[in-house]
Amino acid sequence: MEHILDVLQRDTLTNSIYPVILMHDEKRPLSEFYYPHNPRRKVYWTEDSRAYWHVDSSFYKDSRIKPLKSEDAELKDTDWVAFYADAARKRGMLAGVEFSHTWVDKPRLRGEFQDCVQRDVYGKPSATQLCPNNPDTLVYARALYTELATRYDLDFIQTCFLGFAGAPSYRQKMTEVERLMRLPLGTCFCDSCRAAAEKQGLDWNAIVERIRRLAMGHDRYNAREAFELRLLLNSTTTASQLFVEMPEFYAWFRFRCDSYVRFWREIHTAAHAARPGIDVRFNDCWMYPEMLGFDLRGMSPYFDSIRAADYVEETGDPELMVAKRGFYHSIRRAVGLEKHFVTALSQRVRATPALIKETILMSAQCGADGTTIASYDTATPALLRAVREGFEEAGIEVTAPGRRG
């Protein structure tokens, strides 16, 4: 650990660190078959949504869902939150943690907690995503934030807990209408969503009927609905027109956003009750957040900082950087000039020093307060050094972090 931090400080001017402490399983390295220079292993298989801190079960006595402990022989005996926080403090760095996309492992979501997962319009459950309108999800979310904020000396707790399923990847080149028309294949139509929508006064039956009809259009054997969808996608009809002519579709789109505003209010309230100065950070890993149900302006009273977690550098494609700049402007526009905003860059092996430097300069030009480095699982030494060089060449001074640097 000390060697890693030495290198990060020297080559990237890192002044803040966080471990990902709860996340779905994912092969490492992600973008390549093998590690390029790891003397111990060619690949690493992570565990599925295990807690890398020593969970205090008293925080979960009201929660049906409890974090699952690590079973990895090399990892389970260390409380990694305490370990990282201690390492950060010794160097004057900020200390944080991240709850990633998933907070419960897939076997338990398919088993004892299958009533808590998101469902599509046909009732098919999501493999990984809890529904934010489910009361048990909320109790669990509050418990996670309360435990971490109470027990550890942390500056920030970050999450990129995913929104509603079904949005196509933003890296796919699609029109806005095409993106919107994919959403009906997604979620959520569970009983908790029905209850939340009806509490808002929405006609849920009319919404479900409309969304089902749109979803059916994606199956060519539904001849009538498929014709309607094809006709739409070949027309000049705009997203605005869709909202005008299908009030149920707009009501559903708005309801998804309202759901996550409520969810974030719960998280933010719980974390701040446990530790008043804590920075609750929203990790926006999607260029079109509203497609997942994230209305950044509506949510912004309930997060203290935002991180634009986009990693297009790792594609090596300079064209995608144009969209990245627009993404940064979109975030700053939504959250206002005062909200703490950090960007992100990837140093995976297909990135180039030029793209990394471009993101650093672009971050400053787009009014960001800092940048973060992520996913350096295949980074070469030159890609690490490009971060420091990027700051130096742009004439940007990296200051010592405050409580929120």
* Segment interacting with Zn ion, rule: CB under 5 A, options 63-71, 123-131, 155-163, 269-277: 123-131
Question: Which is nearer to Zn ion, 54 or 194 (by Cβ)?
Answer: 194
H runs (alpha helix) in 42-186 = 80-90, 106-110, 135-151, 176-182
H runs (alpha helix) in 162-222 = 176-182, 191-199, 204-216
State the minimum distance, in angstroms, from the CB of residue 365 to Zn ion: 39
Asked whether 120 and 186 are in contact (CB, 8 A), the reply is: yes
Could you tell me the two tokens for 212? Answer: 């089902």
* Segment interacting with Zn ion, rule: CB under 5 A, options 187-195, 232-240, 279-287, 323-331: 187-195
Asked whether 238 and 177 are in contact (CB, 8 A), the reply is: yes
In the set 165, 193, 215, 374, which binds Zn ion (CB under 5 A)? 193
State the minimum distance, in angstroms, from the CB of residue 234 to Zn ion: 33
State the minimum distance, in angstroms, from the CB of residue 118 to Zn ion: 5
190 is a contact residue toward Zn ion (CB under 5 A): yes
State the minimum distance, in angstroms, from the CB of residue 109 to Zn ion: 13
Question: Which is nearer to Zn ion, 190 or 345 (by Cβ)?
Answer: 190
- Residue 305: CA atoms inside 13 Å, Cβ hemisphere, count? 24
- Pairwise CA distance, residues 12 & 403, whole Å: 20
Instruction: List C-alpha distances in Å: 351 to 40, 255, 372, 393.
Output: 24, 38, 15, 18
* Segment interacting with Zn ion, rule: CB under 5 A, options 74-82, 126-134, 210-218, 385-393: 126-134
How many chain residues are in contact with Zn ion, going by CB under 5 A?
A: 6
Question: Which residues contact residue 219 at a Cβ distance below 8 angstroms, ignoring those fewer than 6 apart?
Answer: 225, 226
* Segment interacting with Zn ion, rule: CB under 5 A, options 50-58, 193-201, 249-257, 300-308: 193-201
121 is a contact residue toward Zn ion (CB under 5 A): no
Question: Which is nearer to Zn ion, 56 or 191 (by Cβ)?
Answer: 191
Backbone angle region of 248, left / alpha / beta, with phi > 0 → left and psi within -120 to 50 → alpha? alpha
* Segment interacting with Zn ion, rule: CB under 5 A, options 99-107, 188-196, 272-280, 386-394: 188-196
CB atoms under 10 Å from CB of 248, counted, come to: 19
Question: Which is nearer to Zn ion, 164 or 311 (by Cβ)?
Answer: 164
188 is a contact residue toward Zn ion (CB under 5 A): yes
Residues 127-146 that bind Zn ion (CB under 5 A): 131, 133
CB atoms under 10 Å from CB of 176, counted, come to: 13
Residues 225-284 that bind Zn ion (CB under 5 A): none
Q: Which residues bind Zn ion (CB under 5 A)?
A: 131, 133, 188, 190, 192-193
